[in-house]
Structure 1
Amino acid sequence: MDIGTALRHLRDDLGLTQKQMIQGTKITVSHYSKLEKGQNRIFIENLVEILKQRNISLSYFVDHYLNDENSEKEVNYSEILNIAFYEKDKIAAEEIKRQIFSDKSSSNELRDRATLIVDMIDNQGQSNVDARIINSIFKHDNWTQYDEAIILLGNTIRTSNVLNMSPLVFTLIRKYKDLDKEKIEKQRRLATVGINYLFNFRKLSKEFNKTVLKIISWIKTTSIVPELGIIRELNAYFLAVYEGNISVSTNIKNVLKISGYQNLANDLPN
């Protein structure tokens, strides 16, 4: 089952109405109803907020409601890996990794990504598996067409020597020059690579060089839609810190914290 259906089953098991299920959150009944029906995309903060208010751990939700042989596994696995990484939830990440490796239909890219994320959580953001995972990205000459390869690159950039990653990022920029011509989810995956590059590079250098400028300009080509709001906010943050605009960067951090992205805001390099 998809995540929306899994939420409905959880709500039924708890004996709650939709209004009761979202009590204590900022989510409206109308929005939540569409989440259950699969009409609205479930964002990380939505799921985490709902589960926390109902005192349900992410690992419990994964184990009891998403471990379904007939589910859209790759989509669910990918979503939960993102959530586990954001929440630094090692138990949930390890459970998803176990499911991925026990599922013979799982792609090698997804297995590598699960290994990377568990390793990153285990080692507080540092990974020891970069070389093998980078090699898996180049398994295909046309790797830029593979969503899992793009996602893997986005995750790996956070832990690798960022300078070695510049050619890969520029390959994506050449392939997808104008992000707003792509579907929203594709834009999100591609722009995340750029954001993670900026995140890592800023920790190494405060130089506003041509590479940084090109990546920021590239991310600016994303569509101006709510679904990509946080991507554009983070891009604006990095532009502000490189330009020395402290008031803007501080305001963006505060907005992220108010919106529930406390961990993300605290991790952002100044």
Structure 2
Amino acid sequence: MLNIGRALRNERLAQNKTQREWIKDVPISVSRYSEIENNTIKNGKKADIDSEKLILLLESNNVDVKEFFSNLQYKSTSIEKLSLEISQAFNNGNYKKASEVKRKIFASSNAPLSLKYRAILIVSELKDHMASLDRKTIDEISSYLYKSSDWVKNKEALILFGNSMPRMNSNILKRRMKQIINEYSAINKFPDRVQRRISTICINYIFNAIFIYKIDAYVQESLDLIKKLPANDVYGLKKLVGQYYLDYLKSDQKHMTELKELLRRCGYNSLASRLDFDIAK
């Protein structure tokens, strides 16, 4: 059985966050939270977190509360270690390490199905952004990840959705994008990491909708969502690309050309060339 401090640390590292980023929406100091993660004992008493703050911490970081407490009960130390290792390999972009951990996960009789699927997705993502993931496996994982409406809050489900768009049935693609638009319509109210993930999905969707599937469903809604992003250096390029696609839909060749020239002048040659490639399609 895991202790809460260690379980929280695993969740935080899986999201590649610092302690300060992790607790930014919870009334607790970094030093106090560090004691909780490290199970620090002072005056004979172990550092702990009250239930209200714990639930707020989990929800503010989009961690499934029920799954978190369930994991506390059934994960063995070895499975906990493998889960942490596969997350760290993903965060470090280490394909070789992720592949090694995946083999260990599948060799373990105690590994839950969710961890096995996560290992498949992580290794495939690091290998070639899921390009070589076969249709049968995609369908199998999709059935598991998308089985409830809460999939729109699940990191692995969102990764799979974003990367499997070109091989998805258009009706399924539209239905799932509608769910995302509805869930994240007020995107600026979500944490930065969520905004980054969802805005990336929107950019990918717009490209696939326009150039692959030749559909207009939820394209404008995706563009509207990107417009809501903060105008800062984190989201600047996405907002520029969103504006470019908006100009494309308006057949505004003048502004399209100006924007690509600006990108090249600023050193974003590959992005500008990619936009040229998109239009050529």
User: Which of 175, 178, 191 is the equivalent residue of 1:170?
Assistant: 178
Q: Deviations over 1:26-53 (max 9, x none)?
A: xxxxxxxxxxx9999xxxxxxxxxxxxx
Whichever of the two has the greater Rg, that structure is: 2
TM value normalised by structure 2: 0.55
AA aligned to 2:227 is K
Show the 5 A alignment for 1:135-214. 135-204=143-212, 209-214=216-221
Q: In structure 2, do the counterparts of structure 1 residues 143 and 206 end up closer, same or farther at CA, with 3 Å as the change threshold?
A: closer
Q: In structure 2, do the counterparts of structure 1 residues 154 and 205 end up closer, same or farther at CA, with 3 Å as the change threshold?
A: closer
Structure 1 match to 2:134: 128
Q: In structure 2, do the counterparts of structure 1 residues 255 and 148 end up closer, same or farther at CA, with 3 Å as the change threshold?
A: farther
User: Does 2:244 align with 1:237?
Assistant: yes
Q: Deviations over 1:133-185 (max 9, x none)?
A: 42232144421222222222111224434443111111111112111000111
Structure 1 match to 2:28: none
State the identity as a percent.
20
Q: In structure 2, do the counterparts of structure 1 residues 138 and 100 end up closer, same or farther at CA, with 3 Å as the change threshold?
A: farther
AA aligned to 1:101 is K
In structure 1, what is the Cα distance between the partners aligned to 2:266 and 2:88? 24
AA aligned to 2:174 is S
Gaps of 5+ in 1: 1-36, 41-68, 82-91
Q: Deviations over 1:210-234 (max 9, x none)?
A: 5211111122222222212222122
Show the 5 A alignment for 1:249-260. 249-257=256-264
| Secondary structure, counterpart of 1:227 in structure 2 | coil
Structure 2 match to 1:112: 120
In structure 2, what is the Cα distance between the partners aligned to 1:262 and 1:110? 34
In structure 1, what is the Cα distance between the partners aligned to 2:218 and 2:118? 29
- Maintained 8 Å contact 2:102/2:120: no
Structure 2 match to 1:98: 99
Structure 1 match to 2:229: 222
- Maintained 8 Å contact 1:257/1:265: yes
Shift of 1:260: 5.7
In structure 1, what is the Cα distance between the partners aligned to 2:212 and 2:227? 23
In structure 2, what is the Cα distance between the partners aligned to 1:236 and 1:227? 16
Q: In structure 2, do the counterparts of structure 1 residues 75 and 242 end up closer, same or farther at CA, with 3 Å as the change threshold?
A: farther
- Maintained 8 Å contact 1:116/1:127: yes
- Maintained 8 Å contact 2:187/2:225: yes
- Maintained 8 Å contact 2:177/2:218: no
Higher relative contact order (CA 8 A, sep 6+): 1
Structure 2 match to 1:16: none
| Secondary structure, counterpart of 2:198 in structure 1 | helix
In structure 2, what is the Cα distance between the partners aligned to 1:192 and 1:147? 13
Gaps of 5+ in 2: 1-17, 22-80, 106-110
In structure 2, what is the Cα distance between the partners aligned to 1:134 and 1:108? 13
Q: Deviations over 1:98-153 (max 9, x none)?
A: 1441464893453232354367569xx57533323422321444212222222221
In structure 1, what is the Cα distance between the partners aligned to 2:83 and 2:132? 32
| RMSD of Structure 2 on Structure 1 (CA) | 3.6
